[in-house]
Structure 1
Amino acid sequence: MKPSVQPWLADPVKESFLILAPAFVPVAVVILFQDYFIQHQQVSAVWWVVLVLCIDVSHVYSTLFRLYWDRPTFSKYKNLLLIIPVASFGIGFLLHLYDAAIFWRILAYVAVFHFVRQQYGFMRLYSRKENNNIAVRILDGVSIYAATLYPLLYWHLHLTGSLSWFVSGDFISIPLQGWDTALKTIYVVIIIAYSAKELWQSYRRRAFNIPKNLIMAGTYLSWYVGIVMFEGDLIFTLLNVVAHGVPYMGLIWIYGEQKAQSTFSFSWRGVAIFSGVLFAFAYVEETIWDVLVWKDHVGVFPFLTSLAPLENPVLLSIVVPLLVLPQITHYVLDGFIWRFSKDSTARLSSR
């Protein structure tokens, strides 16, 4: 199959490093250094800075580049882009004021939906040139969802204190452990069905869709290893955050290059500015979290350490929804970010 036939969005090399590799490299690291990760189950301060601060929180702010700082796009969706944060804060305030545990549980499931949908979005982007019938499209969708939903169901069936999404107890327990065998059987059958379909299509077309199938394989691998194979907060965070956050920022970067090819390039200076802006926003946000709410990374945020955390329920119900507002807005707007073909100013759709 000629390289030009592959459904790359813009640049095969950049996409291989930024979108495809992040699902595989952390898994390889975990497998190669199992002893270390078995002995270090918790996320240390250093790992927290690298994974949470530099990737997880930072990638949320890449939405600014894609929707808020891109003038044509902001003008096109202005009302929506302003209404969503306002409405999200109002709902978050009421939920947190009513019950903080419910607030975090709902936020966790919204985040899960966002993570799951991202993999579906990438799969669709890389299959956009395939002229598939509805049965094949359904099997593709079922397969990418199975890659994430089976490990999530396993997590719900085997809740432990070693894993949580945001806070301890944010996932509900599903007391159906007897379903393990049935669920795993369905999972394996879906993998076999998808693999057989891809082999047949590749033979019939004399072409193999490399990026689409690497997205599929990487999703199965990272979610299964991170949740089912190993049970530890550090391993889960490493695989989950890198496989999600790096491709997201990579896609935003590629989009930016396509829209401003003469002034926006993947140079060291460009990377430094892009990464620096995201990190600065993330650091400011997490500083406020640590000073006013958590008090768990004093070494990373040595500011106002003598200040007591907020305890007033009304103030907390204002501050916490404000601090998670970038995340909520990012989650809600996620669907718009993937629709390159709907954006008249984007160039990716012409590829």
Structure 2
Amino acid sequence: MTLAGDSAGEAATGRLARPGWILGPLGDLVIFTGPVLAALALIAFAWSNGTLHREMPPWMFALLVVACDVAHVYATAFRVYLDPERFRARPGLYLGVPVACFAAGVIAYGISAAFFWRVLAYLAVWHFIRQQWGWVAFARAKAGEGQVDRRLDQMTIYAATVYPLLYWHTHLPREFSWFIEGDFARLPGALDVAAFAGHWAIMATFAARQFQRGVRGLGVNWAKVQIVATTWVAWYGGIVLLNSDIAFSALNVLSHGVPYLAVVWTIERRHVGERRAPLARFFEPRLAVLLLAVLVLIGYSEEWLWDALVWRDQPALFGRWSEGALPAALLGLVVPLLATPQATHYVLDGSLWKRRKHRDLDGFLEGRR
């Protein structure tokens, strides 16, 4: 997620024009800090029963991967493919991206399966990092912040996310991977030494700047601070401090998927409801659970296909399959096809949250509900 069009309301006075909360103080606490606390609780539970460094149990796979990670991908459909007005605005883009993603996937898999997964992993990394900057940009726009701190904010989010990834690349192998073992390239350990100092210097500068703003009466955008802090905990904690697949997955998936689902639901509730579109009923508060259930069902269906046709490693969730794998030529079509929804989500998400292209974001960012 990225957001273009920060407000310049702060530029004249140097003070925040209004609070920067995206959903409000309580709402932001729930969607940003809540997932991190939930992930830490799962980590503590796994540590207490001695399973933190073991394979993820089926119930946790269902919770993290099916109900959150895969389900949130399909929330994109409500911003594009199930919204006739928005789809008609840019049909070439919305039809062309999945076709292009599938074609590129077939080409990449034709080179090698390892190359395909490496390309998809780095595309996912780019998407995950940019979403965190998108949240900060939302909080900046909500607060009417100008450009004075924008570069520092951006550097801070990249320091909080890129350094842990660099650490990962310089400390392979780890107990976890993004998609499959070996999808990240190994980098020289010397890079970590230099980046470590830069990481802490940028984080300290950001903290000092917030303190300075508070002392000078300029106002601290606590929404932005919360996003930066929870991003750091999720990425540094899940990648650098804890060498565990359960820890990485819990922190990475929940801190990414939960805010996305919550913000999409909030924006679409207003946007669809205003136009009395057929989908408006899905965004009524009393039907929020139904909407989530639909997304989870779609997520389960996709993972069932992955398990039946490719992985065959979750018999407790999806049943047992025959041992024989699909022919390599068929896998070269099936794997890119199954990966197309998430690749489409990664690519389209860079466009769906640009304010100059989606004016329905204006009311949301200006505080109107």
2:299 paired residue number: 282
Corresponding residue SS for 2:297: helix
Where do 1:185-224 residues align within 5 Å? Answer: 185-224=197-236
Report the CA distance shift for 1:198/1:147 in structure 2 as closer, same or farther (over 3 A). same
- What are the equivalent positions in structure 2 for 1:143-162 lying under 5 Å apart? 143-162=156-175
Match of 1:342 in 2: 357
The reply on whether 1:91 has 2:104 as its aligned counterpart is: yes
Report if the CA contact (8 A) 2:138-2:365 is conserved. Answer: no
Aligned residue for 1:323? 338
Aligned mates of 1:196, 1:230 — CA distance in 2: 27
The correspondence for 2:309, drawn from 266, 270, 292, is 292
TM-score by length of structure 1 reads: 0.91
Which residue number corresponds to residue 318 of structure 2? 301
> May I ask how many residue pairs the two structures share in their alignment?
345
C-alpha offsets along residues 34-86 of structure 1, whole Å, 9 cap, x if unaligned? Answer: 43466443211111111111111111111001111122211112110000011
Worse-superposed segment, 315-324 or 269-278:
269-278
Aligned-partner residue type, residue 325 of structure 2:
P
Q: CA deviation at 1:272?
A: 1.8
Partner of 1:44: 57
Q: Could you say if the C-alpha distance between residues 39 and 244 of structure 1 is closer, same or farther in structure 2, counting changes exceeding 3 Å?
A: closer
Is 1:250 paired with 2:262? yes
> Quick one: which of 181, 194, 197 aligns to 1:168?
181
Question: Residue 111 in 1 paired to residue 146 in 2?
Answer: no
User: AA paired with 1:122?
Assistant: W
* Unmatched runs of 5 consecutive residues or more in structure 1: none
The one-letter code sitting in structure 1 at the alignment partner of 2:125 is V
Kindly state the Cα deviation for residue 206 of structure 1 after the two structures are TM-superposed.
Answer: 4.3
Letter in structure 2 aligned against 1:170: D
Cα deviation, residue 245, structure 1: 0.8
Instruction: Give the 5 Å matches for 1:7-46.
Output: 7-27=20-40, 29-30=42-43, 34-36=47-49, 39-46=52-59
CA distance in structure 1 between the partners assigned to 2:46 and 2:17 by the alignment? 37
Distance in structure 1 (CA, Å) of the matches to 2:79 and 2:153: 27
Query: Structure 1 residues 72, 37: CA separation in 2 closer, same or farther (over 3 Å shift)?
Result: farther
Query: Secondary structure of 2:184's match?
Result: coil
Letter in 2 for 1:328: A
The one-letter amino acid of 1:126's match is A
User: What amino acid does structure 1 have at the position aligned with 2:154?
Assistant: G
**8 Å Cα contact 2:214-2:220 kept in structure 1:** yes
User: d(CA) in 1 for partners of 2:87 and 2:216?
Assistant: 44
% same residue: 36
d(CA) in 2 for partners of 1:92, 1:296:
23
Conserved 8 A contact 1:97-1:313: no
Q: Distance in 2 between matches of 1:50 and 1:255?
A: 25
How far does the alpha carbon of each residue in 1:166-221 deviate from its partner, in whole angstroms, 9 at most, with x for none?
A: 0010000012x234433222111111111111111233344221111100011111
| Counterpart contact for 1:157–1:174, Cα < 8 Å | yes
Aligned partner of 2:328 in structure 1 is: 313
Q: Deviations along 1:280-331, whole A, 9 cap, x unmatched?
A: 211111111111111111221127x247331x22211111110000000000
**Alpha-carbon distance change, 301 to 106 in structure 1, aligned in 2, over 3 angstroms:** same
Measure, in 2, the Cα distance between the counterparts of 1:76 and 1:318: 31
Q: Secondary structure at the match of 1:172?
A: coil
State the alpha-carbon separation in 1 of the partners of residues 206 and 75 from structure 2. Answer: 33
Structure 1 Cα separation of the partners of residues 284 and 53 of structure 2: 36
CA change 1:301–1:30 in 2 (3 A) is closer
The two structures have a TM-score, normalised by structure 2, of: 0.87
- Aligned CA RMSD, in angstroms, stands at 2.3
**Superposed displacement of residue 342, structure 1:** 3.3
Counterpart code for 1:349: L
Aligned partners of 1:138 and 1:233: how far apart in 2? 33
What SS class does the counterpart of residue 9 from structure 1 fall into? coil
Q: Is the 8 A contact 1:41 1:235 kept in 2?
A: no
Gaps of 5+ in 2: 1-15, 275-279
Task: Give the secondary-structure state (helix, strand or coil) at the position aligned to 1:127.
Answer: helix
Letter in 2 for 1:245: G
Q: Distance in 2 between matches of 1:146 and 1:76?
A: 36
Separation in 2, partners of 1:207, 1:86: 47
Letter in structure 2 aligned against 1:252:
V
- Alignment partner, residue 79 of structure 1: 92
Aligned to 2:138: 125
Deviation readout 1:152-179 (Å, 9 max, x if unpaired): 000000012412100010000012x234
Contact residue 292 and residue 308 of structure 1 kept, 8 A: no
